[in-house]
Amino acid sequence: MALLDILHHPDKRLREKAKPVERFDAALQRLIDDMFETMYAAPGVGLAATQVGIAQRVAVMDCAVEEGKREPLVVINPEIVAPAEPEDVEEGCLSVPGVRDKIKRYKRLKLTALDRTGKPYEIEADGLLAQCIQHEVDHLNGKLYIDYLSSVKRERLMKRMREEQASEEQ
């Protein structure tokens, strides 16, 4: 396994719409394993292939709430079905490091996807897992959580991010 480079905003590849996965081969399995290793090392709870420069509809997640426990989830060619109950949640992103803000996400949803072997499955998710699924599917569609912010809030967030990056480089 290998750590992958996570792209940071404003890298244009983050805006690319991912293509459906058609081949479930050894290269895909390596990508999934590398994405998990990268996500855990970051650390994060989700990572989309587009965040590591791969325009395929693949994301990995682990929203385990119990300390020391892992609940890895692979979603390939995901589709969100029946989202319900919008709510305000605080969100951050590995591709927009060091900043967080409140946005609207659905509290509950159904997800249809393929697992790492190509087998279809459906799950019902709520809470953090539902939020993470929406966040990663947005990445696969070329969208970032900051796109949900007003232009004023987004610019303020970007300014804070640039300032933090500048202070780290000194």
Hey, what are 150's tokens?
């007003």
CA dihedral sign of residues 141, 89, 107, 125: positive
> Catalytic: which of 136, 155, 163, 169?
136
- As beta bridge partners, residue 106 has 86
List Cβ neighbours of 168 (8 Å cut-off, separation of 6 or more).
none
C-alpha angle with apex 124: 105 to 138, nearest 5 degrees? Answer: 40
Active-site residue 67, yes or no?
A: no
């890895």: which residue's tokens?
72
User: 132: closest CA among 102, 159, 92?
Assistant: 92
CA atoms within a 13 Å half-sphere pointing along the CA-CB vector of 154: 11
Strand ranges inside 54-160, DSSP E: 58-62, 72-93, 96-114, 120-126
Residue numbers annotated as active site: 136
